[in-house]
Amino acid sequence: TLGYRCAAVKVYRVYILLLFLLIAAPFYIHYYISKISIDSYSTDDVRRIVQLDDIHILEANDLKLRIEELIRIKASVSSELRDLEHRRQKLQSEIVSLSQSLEEVKRESSASHLELERMQSSLKQALLAQNELASRNVPRLFLPLRLVPASENNDIVTMHPASEPSQACHMHTCFDYSRCSLASGFPVYFYNPDDTNVDPAVKRTITDTLNTNVHVTFDPDVACVYIVLLTGSLQHTSVQAYLKGLRFWGTGGQNHLLLSLPGHGQGPVHSADAERAVIVQSTFLTNEFRHNFDVVLPSFPKQDNDSSPAWSVASALVPARRKYLLTFRGELKGKQNGTQTYDAIVSALKRMQTSATDDGLHLEFVCAALDQGQEEGGEWSLCGSLEHRMVLLRESTFSLIIAPSDIYSTTASSLRRLSEALQCGAIPVILGADHLTLPFAEFLDWSRVALLLPVARVTELHFILRTYGDSDLVELRHRGRLVWEHYLSTPSRVVSAVLSLMRARLGIPAHPAKEEPALSVFNSTFRPVTMDSPMPSDVEVEESLGPLEQPFPSLPYQRNFSVAINEQGKVWNELYDPHTLYPFGTDDPVLPSEAKFIGSSFGFRPIAEGAGGSGKEFGEALGGNVPREQFTVVMLTYEREAVMVDSLQRLHNLPHLNKVIVVWNSPKPPSSDLRWPEIGVPIEVIRAKKNSLNNRFLPYSSIETEAILSVDDDAHLRHDEIVFGFRVWREARDRIVGFPGRYHAWDNNNRAWLYNSNYSCELSMVLTGAAFFHKHYSYLYTNVMPQAIRDKVDEYMNCEDIAMNFLVSHVTRKPPLKVTSRWTFRCPGCAASLSEDDSHFQERHKCINFFAQVYGYMPLLYTQFRLDSVLFKTRIPHDKQKCFKYI
C-alpha cells in the first residue's frame, strides 16, 4: 500500500509538471518574440510568476488559481499583440500611401519637366519663325488676281506691219500679248454661232462645251482670245469675207482662233484667208501649216455622250497580247506624188504577212466598203463602219497608221485612226511619223503612247514589234488610254485641250482648282458650349513628341508660273491635267541638304540645327527634307456625339496639329447643349450637303495644310503613333500612309477580285479611317475621278476608302505605306459599326471589281513591309533616347 501511494504521488507530480510546461511555454514564447517588458505587468503578477519556481510546494487550489492567472495574462498579451498588429497595418498603409504620393510627385515632376522642355522647344520654334519673317526677302505668292484689258481699249493693237505674209506668222509676230496679262485668267470670247449656218447638233454640242468652259467670258471687251466656229455650208470663197465682217477681226484677225470642224461640207481653212488668226483644224497642207502657231485639232467626236462615259467605251489594258499582233484596213485614195513609195510599203507588209510565223497579222489594202466623208486624195481611207473597225481594233495589239502623202502635214482620216486605236487599246504604229504633225505635239509627247517610225523601217517592223515585252505593251496602252480619256474622248475635252495649249503658249497659269465651301453647321449667332479637355490616361505618352506651335497654313500657289512656264511637259504627259492649277503638288522639287544652311533656311527645322541626334533632339524639331508644316484632322461623323467627343478629347495638345474639321454627315444639327472639348486648336464643324461617305474627301476651303489625317469618329490612336505617321508621310507625300492594312485577293474560281482583311504579309490598301494623304488627292477624288465611282460609294454607303486607294495607286503606280504593328484602330467600348456586317463585306467585293472595270485594270499594287522608327528595337547607350519609346 505504501508503495502504491508513493507511485501515485510521483505520477501526480509528473502530471503537474507537464501541465505547468504546457501553460508556461506559450507565455515564454510570446514574451521573447514580442520583447514585452515585464514592467508592463503588475508587481503582484511578477511576484506570482516568480513564485512559480516554488510550484512543487503549491497545493492544488493554488495551482488552479495560478493557471487562471496565466490564462488572463495570455489574453492580455494577445490583446496587446492585436493592438500592435493594428498599428503596424496602419503604419504600413501610410507607407503605401506616401509611396503612391511620391510616385505621383515623380510623375508630375516628369510631366512638368517634359512640359517645360516642350515649352522651351515651342518658344525656340516661335523665335525662329519670328526671325524668319523679319529677315525674309522673298515675295510670298498667292492665288493670282485677275487683270483684264481696259474696256475702252477694244481695238487689238497691231504689233507688226500688216503687210507681213500670213504664212510666216508666229506667236511673237501675229499675236497681241498685251490683251493677255499673265494674271488675266485667259478670258475667251465665243462668237455666236447663229451668225453662220451651223448644223444644229454641232451647234448645240459646241455651244454647250464652250459656255461651260472656265475660260469663257461674255464680255468681248476683256477677252484675250476670240473663237470663231467655221462649219456647215460656208463656202471657201466666202470665208475671207465672213471673217472680215466679224466685229473684232480688226486689221488681220489677231488673237482669233478659227475652229474648223472636219466634215459637214467644210473644207480646210487656208492661211491666206485666216491672215493672222490661229487656224484650229484636222487637215493641213504642209506648205500652209504654221508650226507653233496653228493648232492640229484631233478627230472631233460627234457629241458628248453623257449616257456612255469615256471609261465605259474604252478597252481594258489586259491581256497584254491580243489575237492579232498588227492590223491595218485601208485603201489608198487618189493618185498623188509618192504612190511608188506606198506600193513599196504595201509590198513589204504583204511579205511580212506571209512570213512563216505564228503572229497574227490582219492587213487589208482594199476595202469592201469605204467610210463616207473622206475627200482628201493621197491618203488611206478608212474601211467599213466605226463599229466594224472597233471590233478589229479590240483584238489588235498594234494598229498600223500609214501617214498620208507628204503634201499634207496632217489629215482628218489619219487622226481618226489614231483616236480609234487609242480608244480600243491598240498601240498606234505610225509609219511616216517624221512628216506627220500630231495633235497638241508642242506639249504632248506622242512617243510615250505610240511607235513613231520612218517609212524606211517598214521592212524591220515585224522584228521591232516582237521585241516589246508585256510590261511595255501594257504601259503604252495605259498611257494611250489616259491621253484619249483626257484630251480626245469628248468635245468638251478636245476644246479644253485646245484652250489649254493656247494658254500654255502664253505662260498663263491654269484656272485654280475648285474647292468645296466649308459651311458651318452652326448659325452665325450660335456659340457652342466648350469644356476643358484633359487628356485621357491611355493616351498620355511619357516623351516629348514635338513643340506646341500656333496653327499656321502650308503656303499655297507657290509654283504658279514655274509650272506654267517650265513644267508643261510633265503636266501634259504625266499628270494629264493642264487645265487646272493646284495649290500644292505631291512631288514638288526638294532642295539639296546643304541648302537649308546656305541661303535657303526659311521654314526648315533641322535636327539639333543640323548636328543630328537621338530621341531628345529628334523630338524638338521636325527635321526632314522639306520645311516645317502641320496637318489637319478630318473626322467624319453621323449622330454619335459621345463617341465623337471622346475621340476629339484624345487630340488634346497633339503636336503639329493645325485644326480639326468635323464633317457632320447628319441632316440633324448637333445637340445645342453638347459640350465641345478645348484641345488647343480650332474645331470646325462643317455641314454636309447630304449624307455621303464621299464628304470625307471633299477639298474643303478651310483645309489649309497639305497633309490631311483622315480618321473615323471611333478611331483611337496614340499621339506617338500619329506623330510618327506624319513624319513618315512627309517623306512619302504622294502616298497614303496609315495603320490598318488590307489587300485584294484573286478568286480563281470566279475570275474576279476579293476584298480581304485577314492577317497577311502582303498589303495593297490602307484604310482611310486612320491614314494620312495629300490634299491634292481630295481635288482629284472630287473633280477628276470618274463620277461612276462616287455614285457607287453613295449607292452602297461603303467603299470610299477603297476608292481613294484605287485613285492614289492609279496616279502614282505605287502601293500605300503601313506604319507600326497596329492592325485595327476601333475603340474597345464603342458600339458595333457597319463594317462588321457581312453584307458590308460583300459590297466591298463588288466595289473592288467595279472600280477595276472603271479604270480598265487593277491599279492596286502590293507591298511587303511596314515602317517603324529608326532606333526601334536597337540597343543604345543609357545616356541616349530612342526616337519613340514604343514605335
3-state secondary structure of 793: helix
Write out the E strands in 159-211: 188-190
Burial of residue 589 (number of CB atoms within 10 Å: 0-12, 13-18, 19+) = exposed
Q: Identify the bridge partners of residue 402 per DSSP, sorted by sequence position.
A: 431
CA torsion sign for 545, 546, 552, 554 is negative
Helix 386-393 × helix 412-424 angle, to 10°: 50
CA torsion sign for 427, 429, 435, 436 is negative
Kindly give, in sequence order, each residue whose CB lies less than 8 Å from that of residue 449, ignoring residues fewer than 6 positions away: 422, 427, 428, 476, 479, 480, 483
Phi/psi at 760 (5° precision): -150, 155
Question: Would residue 116 be called left, alpha or beta, if left means φ above 0 and alpha means ψ between -120 and 50 degrees?
Answer: alpha
- The residue type of 145 is L
Nearest to 258 by CA among 297, 217, 228: 228
Write out the E strands in 371-478: 379-382, 396-402, 408-410, 427-431, 451-453
β-pairing, 361-364 with 324-333?
Answer: parallel
Contact yes or no for 537/716 (Cβ under 8 A): no
Residue 51, CB half-sphere, CA atoms under 13 Å: how many? 16
Q: How far is 404 from 431, CA to CA, in rounded Å?
A: 9
Q: Find the helix or strand (DSSP H, E) in which 230 lies.
A: strand 225-230
Q: How far is 333 from 367, CA to CA, in rounded Å?
A: 11
Contact yes or no for 225/256 (Cβ under 8 A): yes
Q: How far is CA 549 from the centre of its chain?
A: 25
Q: How far is 187 from 174, CA to CA, in rounded Å?
A: 19
Q: How far is 144 from 531, CA to CA, in rounded Å?
A: 41
Kindly give, in sequence order, each residue whose CB lies less than 8 Å from that of residue 586, ignoring residues fewer than 6 positions away: 733, 734, 774, 776, 777, 812
- The residue type of 836 is E
3-state secondary structure of 111: helix
Report DSSP letters for 80-98, one per residue.
HHHHHHHHHHHHHHHHHHH
Contact yes or no for 606/596 (Cβ under 8 A): yes
Q: How far is 390 from 420, CA to CA, in rounded Å?
A: 7
User: b or e along 363-383 (b: 16 or more beta carbons within 10 Å of the residue's beta carbon)?
Assistant: bebebeeebeebbbebbbbbb
Nearest to 358 by CA among 393, 320, 325: 325
SS3 string, 387-411, reads HHHHHHHCCEEEEEEECCCCCEEEC
Contact yes or no for 501/442 (Cβ under 8 A): yes
User: b or e along 600-616 (b: 16 or more beta carbons within 10 Å of the residue's beta carbon)?
Assistant: ebbbbbbbeeeeebbbe
Nearest to 360 by CA among 323, 328, 308: 323
Catalytic residue of the set 801, 837, 838, 868: 801
Cell of 577: 491635267
199 as an active site residue: the answer is no
Would you tell me how many other CB atoms lie within 10 Å of the CB of residue 467? Answer: 7
Catalytic sites, residue numbers:
801
